[in-house]
């Protein structure tokens, strides 16, 4: 017999609650103990969801008792490693997942000859425990037995061999069908080797087909606190908590409408609308084709809205029923950043590959998905006869990634001349993260209230030069190096802005103690919190104008004193400070009149104004986010980079940067990195969110 999927292991914190939620969604959860392993070497509570083809999902929990809580706390301390290593591999495999994660922690696969499979894995250098036998007597007195071996590598399955023939299941066709399972791994090649040993060679697309279930590897990386696997459960509606457990819900079972929208996005991703600093490298024909694609894909939007072109940028005007109001200005951009190394991509960056879960390609997150989602929402609203109350503008830039000078900048000037002032502006820059904010399990929506400024300072110095045999104490290279070191060692001061205070206070209710109390009283403890935030570069950027020395050059030959040396230092400026403050800081810190300090040519932006988070506009965006993501924790923040929105300061009363797509740490790195992709679920949610805003503005 070929290997078969036996069951999935689902770690949950509160078994009763999760079981209740699944039952409420119409999914049968049977309480009691499935084949009774001493899961993780400690008592666990168990329940089971039966799926089609004899597969099961076993829910396991250490429980909400003080004991369970203690285990989970212990798992966060250094004592956990040595303690855990005393158990068997099965105990480690399950115990570790159970203590540290909520969600799918692994799966077990039935094989015919366990001993042979274990040997083959060991031959490939995998650490696998010796098989152990278990027996159980069920309520009818029937005895069953099986043999289990667990690998040390938690990306591989637990292996099971049945010692007694399983009873034929009469209910094989009932319950939920599992469509696919995606295994997160940090090392796709290594994990693939393991699966090849257990399951044989994969299909052409790199997945393994186990009966009706496809298993594939996801190089998105593992991270403690997140499920190790994700699985798509047929077309059954799942409870809200399912997606954070790694169970992908019905959004992914594409209906014809969403399949068509996914296809339109994929087509847009195939066009190489790349922005290069060197304008001769930009391929205009790709931008023309993208424009044509939008026109043919969204015929209603293009016949019923006014479309104006500014170079390749586009401005759409949708008059509202109330002509006195300009309700909304939606920004998005059609250009993308170049691809550094196409070989590091799973699928070629401009292939627009669509698989069961994702659409892949440069621009999938940043920012073509937002362009297309807005047009999907407009087209859908027009089809349904919906008209906005206030006039809506949609401005799609073609050069955001190189500053927006010919796109956003021109459109903004035009709108200003026409006297347009929108009640609310919405652009890219904030998303929903999961597993990124320490101490919060649920997804966190960051609706950004503004963005940091951007300035690059050029430090340069000249010297006489000469032979290197009789050098002065400091050469031009040395002087510039000292200037760079001085700036790195003396960063701009910590600054707890009202925005960051607001952000932390909004997160407080979702934290556990003692963080909750600390954040709740953020006003009193702002200095302490600012200090804590400096622990990681991502959070330090919230409380400081950051300093990044990015370029240094000088000298021509090893035995010649340099006549010239220079460095470029990039600053991201907090609202409350300015470009002038940065220059003054550089002068005071470097304090060397032989070093010239000036702004480098190129991009320069003061920090944006900060929008209020206590007004009706913020409430509207937050409510719309909650509508598409009911369990989200809404907070605020600042965009660390510069977006097109900065050009529109004078044509909108408030601006927010936000899109309701859920990203994990690894996904954030895909933006401007490799393997950029968006899940079908995220894309459909984005369209739904845009539609809600169109109807409510």
Residues making contact with Zn ion (CB under 5 A): 366-367, 428
Closer CB to Zn ion, residue 214 or residue 374? Answer: 374
CA distance 488 to 502: 29
At closest approach, how far in Å is the CB of 502 from Zn ion?
24
At closest approach, how far in Å is the CB of 608 from Zn ion?
15
Closer CB to Zn ion, residue 91 or residue 367? Answer: 367
Closer CB to Zn ion, residue 509 or residue 641? Answer: 641
Tokens of 427: 């652009």
13 burial class (0-12, 13-18, 19+ CB within 10 angstroms)?
Answer: middle
**Element at 526 (helix H, strand E):** helix 526-533
Give catalytic residues, as residue numbers: 335, 400
Helix (H, G, I), strand (E, B) or coil at 344: helix
Task: List Cβ neighbours of 104 (8 Å cut-off, separation of 6 or more).
Answer: 8, 9, 10, 11, 227, 228, 229, 230, 231, 245, 246, 247
At closest approach, how far in Å is the CB of 366 from Zn ion?
4
Dihedrals phi, psi of 436, to nearest 5 degrees = -105, -40
At closest approach, how far in Å is the CB of 149 from Zn ion?
48
Closer CB to Zn ion, residue 428 or residue 451? Answer: 428
Contact 118, 157 (CB under 8 A): no
Helix (H, G, I), strand (E, B) or coil at 61: strand
Strands across the sheet containing 564-573: 546-554, 564-573, 453-462, 596-599
Dihedrals phi, psi of 359, to nearest 5 degrees = -110, 130
At closest approach, how far in Å is the CB of 92 from Zn ion?
42
CA atoms within 13 A on the CB side of 1: 14
Give 13's DSSP letter. Answer: S
**Element at 23 (helix H, strand E):** helix 15-24
At closest approach, how far in Å is the CB of 362 from Zn ion?
11
At closest approach, how far in Å is the CB of 623 from Zn ion?
25
Closer CB to Zn ion, residue 602 or residue 615? Answer: 602
Buried b (16+ CB within 10 A) or exposed e, 110-134: bbeebeebbebbeeeebebbebeeb
At closest approach, how far in Å is the CB of 455 from Zn ion?
20
Dihedrals phi, psi of 145, to nearest 5 degrees = -140, 150
668 burial class (0-12, 13-18, 19+ CB within 10 angstroms)?
Answer: middle
Helix (H, G, I), strand (E, B) or coil at 133: strand
CA distance 132 to 92: 14
């Amino acid at each position: 017999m070929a290997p078969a999927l036996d069951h999935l292991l689902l770690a949950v914190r509160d078994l009763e609650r999760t079981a209740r939620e699944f039952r409420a969604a119409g999914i049968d959860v049977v309480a009691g103990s499935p084949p009774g392993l001493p899961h993780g070497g400690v008592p666990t509570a168990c329940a089971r969801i039966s799926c089609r083809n004899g597969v099961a999902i076993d829910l396991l929990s250490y429980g909400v008792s003080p004991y369970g809580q203690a285990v989970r706390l212990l798992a966060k301390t250094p004592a956990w490693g040595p303690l855990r290593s005393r158990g068997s591999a099965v105990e480690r495999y399950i115990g570790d997942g159970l203590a540290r994660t909520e969600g799918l922690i692994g799966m077990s696969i039935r094989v015919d000859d366990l001993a042979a499979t274990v040997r083959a894995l060991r031959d490939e250098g995998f650490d696998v425990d010796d098989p152990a036998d278990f027996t159980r007597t069920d309520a009818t007195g029937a005895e069953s037995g099986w043999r289990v071996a667990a690998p040390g590598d938690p990306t591989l399955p637990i292996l099971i061999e049945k010692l007694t023939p399983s009873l034929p299941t009469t209910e094989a066709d009932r319950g939920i069908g599992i469509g696919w399972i995606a295994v997160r791994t940090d090392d796709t090649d290594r994990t693939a080797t393991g699966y090849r040993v257990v399951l044989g060679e994969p299909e052409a697309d790199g997945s393994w087909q186990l009966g009706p279930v496809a298993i594939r590897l996801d190089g998105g990386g593992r991270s403690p606190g997140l499920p190790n696997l994700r699985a798509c459960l047929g077309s059954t509606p799942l409870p809200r908590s399912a997606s954070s457990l790694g169970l992908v819900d019905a959004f992914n079972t594409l209906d014809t409408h969403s399949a068509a929208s996914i296809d339109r996005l994929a087509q847009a991703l195939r066009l190489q609308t790349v922005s290069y600093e060197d304008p001769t490298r930009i391929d205009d024909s790709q931008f023309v084709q993208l424009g044509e694609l939008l026109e043919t894909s969204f015929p209603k939007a293009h016949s019923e809205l006014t479309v104006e072109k500014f170079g390749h940028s586009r401005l759409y005007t949708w008059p509202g029923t109330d002509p006195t109001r300009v309700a909304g200005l939606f920004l998005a951009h059609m250009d993308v950043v170049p691809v550094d190394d196409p070989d590091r991509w799973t699928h070629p960056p401009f292939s627009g590959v669509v698989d069961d879960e994702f659409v892949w390609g440069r621009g999938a997150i940043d920012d073509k998905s937002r362009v297309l989602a807005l047009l999907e929402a407009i087209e859908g609203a027009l089809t349904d006869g919906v008209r906005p109350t206030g006039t809506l503008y949609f401005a799609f830039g073609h050069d955001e990634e190189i500053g927006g000078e010919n796109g956003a900048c021109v459109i903004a000037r035009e709108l200003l001349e026409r006297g347009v002032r929108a009640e609310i502006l919405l652009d890219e820059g904030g998303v929903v993260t999961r597993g990124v904010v320490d101490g919060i399990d649920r997804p966190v929506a960051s609706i950004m209230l503004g963005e940091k400024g951007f300035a690059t300072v050029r430090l340069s110095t000249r010297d006489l030069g000469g032979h290197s045999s009789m050098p002065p104490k400091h050469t031009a290279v040395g002087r510039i190096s000292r200037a760079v070191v001085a700036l790195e060692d003396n960063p701009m001061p910590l600054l707890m802005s009202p925005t960051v205070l607001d952000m932390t206070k909004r997160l407080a209710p979702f934290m556990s103690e003692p963080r909750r109390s600390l954040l709740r009283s953020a006003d009193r403890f702002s200095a302490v919190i600012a200090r804590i935030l400096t622990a990681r570069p991502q959070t330090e950027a919230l409380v400081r104008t950051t300093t990044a020395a990015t370029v240094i050059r000088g000298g021509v030959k090893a035995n010649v004193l340099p006549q010239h040396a220079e460095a470029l230092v990039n600053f991201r400026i907090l609202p409350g400070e300015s470009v002038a403050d940065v220059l003054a800081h550089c002068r005071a810190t470097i304090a060397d009149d032989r070093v010239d300090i000036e702004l480098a040519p190129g991009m320069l932006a003061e920090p944006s104004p900060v929008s209020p988070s206590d007004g009706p506009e913020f409430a509207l965006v937050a409510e719309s986010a909650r509508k598409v993501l009911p369990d989200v924790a809404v907070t605020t923040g600042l965009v660390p980079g510069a977006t097109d929105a900065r050009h529109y300061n004078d044509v909108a009363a408030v601006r927010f940067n936000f899109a309701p797509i859920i990203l994990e740490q690894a996904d954030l790195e895909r933006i401007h990195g490799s393997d950029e992709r968006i899940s079908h679920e995220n894309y459909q949610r984005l369209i739904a969110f845009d539609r809600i805003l169109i109807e409510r503005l």
